[in-house]
Amino acid sequence: MTETSADTGGTDPYLWLEEVDGERALDWVRERNAETRAELAGGDGFDALVAELREVLDAPDRIPYTRRRGPYLYNFWQGAEHPRGVWRRTTLEEYRTDAPDWDVLLDLDALAAAEGEDWTWAGAQVLRPAFRRALVSLARGGGDAVVVREYDLAERAFVEDGFRLPEAKTDIGWIDEDHVFVGTDHGPGSMTASGYPRTVRRWRRGTPLDAAEPVHEGAESDLAVSAWHDPTEGFERDFVARYRDFWNQETHLLTEGGELRRIEVPDDAESSVHREWLLVTPKAPWLGQPAGSLLAFRFDAFLAGRREPEVLFTPDARTALAGHSWTRNHLVVETLQDVASRMHVLTPPTGPGDWKRRELADIPPLASAAVTDTDPDSGDEYFLSLTGHLVPPSLHRGEIGGPDERIKQVPARFDATGLDARQYFATSADGTRVPYTVVGRHGALPGPTLLTGYGGFEIALTPSYDTVRGRAWLARGGTYVVAGIRGGGEYGPRWHRSALKADRPRAYEDFEAVARDLVARGVTSPERLGITGGSNGGLLMGAMLVRSPELFGAIVGHVPLLDMLRFHRLLAGASWIAEYGDPDDPADRPHLAELSPYHRLEAGRPYPPVLLTTSTRDDRVHPGHARKAAARLRELGHRVLLHETLVGGHAGATDHEQTAYNSALEHTFLWRTLGS
């Protein structure tokens, strides 16, 4: 089975590997898995490494991050005793202790055993303000598609005649106890080309889904449509959004009469409504304010046509907006300055006047801070996580305006003696300064170094304490490097948009500049420099393989995109056209053909050894990308290993045992390739 030249620019002899569950394809995958297992998992020390990594993944003194719902703090927890996990809750008083008394609501291991299903947790929405009923989402094998069941928290049981939906990429949310907004697969025409809901309905308890009231319908070419209810007392509202693509959407207020009233912000802006406030982050200059700023409007005045923003944040060349969270009376704003976090509290005026501003927390250099939870309904409580490359995470709780307390602290998980983290800047091909951080023993002789990057979807790589990487790489003498290349969100929308579509090579030039800078500084040498990345970062790995193989000694790509002429036809791929371009558009096809790693593989080039990993149950990035690239590399005589988990979804694993095994494969490959 081959693909026509209209789709690939030539025949594709490996199209049969896109048949996810095809018998021939799975037999081929099993052969590759056996080769990889024999090559990497059979040597001395592999099982010990898996056990060592499993130990930190299962550690009982990890921070159980929570979400407040009324008087309880809720948490989902996986560990040695509960590999699939338990959904549980406790009180703040108990949570402060070293060994809280947790009330288990749902045991996924027991549920999976009772039903004979490979269930993994995909989240729960609890109905405010009573917090008695929940919409629980469960995924088979870790995929994005879920089944939905209503759950009674008081009875600890699924509601027999409650809201239930079969497996699909469903979007569902509470309106009240008897109604939900739902978008799901209910027959031909109900899903977009990207595989997400095209229609949204108001569904009443006890009635068939087909009888649910239509609310809005998008086009098949849209990404998705969605609706949600804001139950905030005194500000109850319904909203509908049509996502035309990954970066453009239309948001509407749904009136009591069922009419849609457009919220007139730019299609590419991010916006949200909290009580009387509308917050907008434009991705391009708007109302005299630069892209990436944070603007506030009184919502009713904005609907009436007032367009005078209150400017809450203005970016500069070094600083970008990273996020914001409401408490009842305050707004917590997170920013990045050269990829390090800053946190401020902004207090809106109760009448005419300006917003007040103060720093929330003193954050160490090269560290990350993030608000993990607030309760915007009833108080000004916040939970704040602090971490860094060599700084074990801590969790702080406070009330805005009062002192905070360190409520949880993770102990050191690996030996960091002699290690430090330092930030440098490389100069890209067009003169752009690209930040990167080196974690290791500075001043040592050039040694094994692992470089990672992402460079897409306005996602920033920030400092984090990676216990697995720490044990498997840093503590064994390796150096770890994180590059903040263009395409990501390290410097806001401008950084992202500078590597969109035909400009994607700028991200690759940035990554190559960091690799060269590492060698120039004496950190490593090309034969001892490995690189790793996943998803869009896996595409980055493929690009490095075909663009500049001489810079690297080993390449690892996890759940990668690699066929950029067919990505839009595989699973959720059509949703990324706004990021990469459309292979069916003559204006986009040339640059996609130029950057598509699968189509640029050649015989005779000195490619470094390659490890590709994927998952049969990844219903986001098709496993065919990794399969076909591995087959083509083998055909051309290059060194490549493929490991495909049968479950795991886009994460590649559903439990800690699989995560530890996958990580042990990666690091064993890297150490054997780059040297001890």
Measure the CA angle with vertex 285, ends 280 and 290; round to 5°: 80
Q: What residues contact 209, with CB distance under 8 A and at least 6 apart? A: 165, 182, 184, 186, 201, 203
Q: What residues contact 291, with CB distance under 8 A and at least 6 apart? A: 282, 283, 284, 285, 315, 492, 493, 494
As to burial, measured by CB atoms within 10 angstroms (0-12 exposed, 13-18 middle, 19+ buried), residue 479 is buried
> For the chain, percent helix, then strand, then coil, each to nearest 5?
25, 35, 40
- Evaluate whether 334 touches 323 at the Cβ level (below 8 Å): yes
Provide the token pair at 65.
Answer: 């991050």
Find the Cα–Cα–Cα–Cα dihedral 306, 310, 315, 316, rounded to 10°. 110
As to burial, measured by CB atoms within 10 angstroms (0-12 exposed, 13-18 middle, 19+ buried), residue 31 is exposed
- Evaluate whether 469 touches 266 at the Cβ level (below 8 Å): no
Provide the token pair at 423.
Answer: 């930030």
| Position 232, amino acid | T
Q: Which residues in the chain land under pLDDT 50? A: 1-8
Cα separation, 527 vs 511, whole angstroms: 17
User: What is the reported pLDDT for 362?
Assistant: 85
User: What is the reported pLDDT for 676?
Assistant: 60
Beta-strand (E) ranges in 540-635? Answer: 554-558, 610-615
Options 389, 650, 656, 667, the catalytic residue = 650
- Is pTM beyond 0.85 here? yes
As to burial, measured by CB atoms within 10 angstroms (0-12 exposed, 13-18 middle, 19+ buried), residue 33 is middle
- Residue 650 is a catalytic residue: yes
Provide the token pair at 446.
Answer: 């050039």
Residue for token pair 């025409």? 189
Closest CA to 642 of 21, 25, 144, 11: 25
- Evaluate whether 370 touches 385 at the Cβ level (below 8 Å): yes
Which residues face 261 on adjacent strands?
253
User: What is the reported pLDDT for 378?
Assistant: 87
Options 535, 575, 596, 615, the catalytic residue = 535
User: What is the reported pLDDT for 675?
Assistant: 84
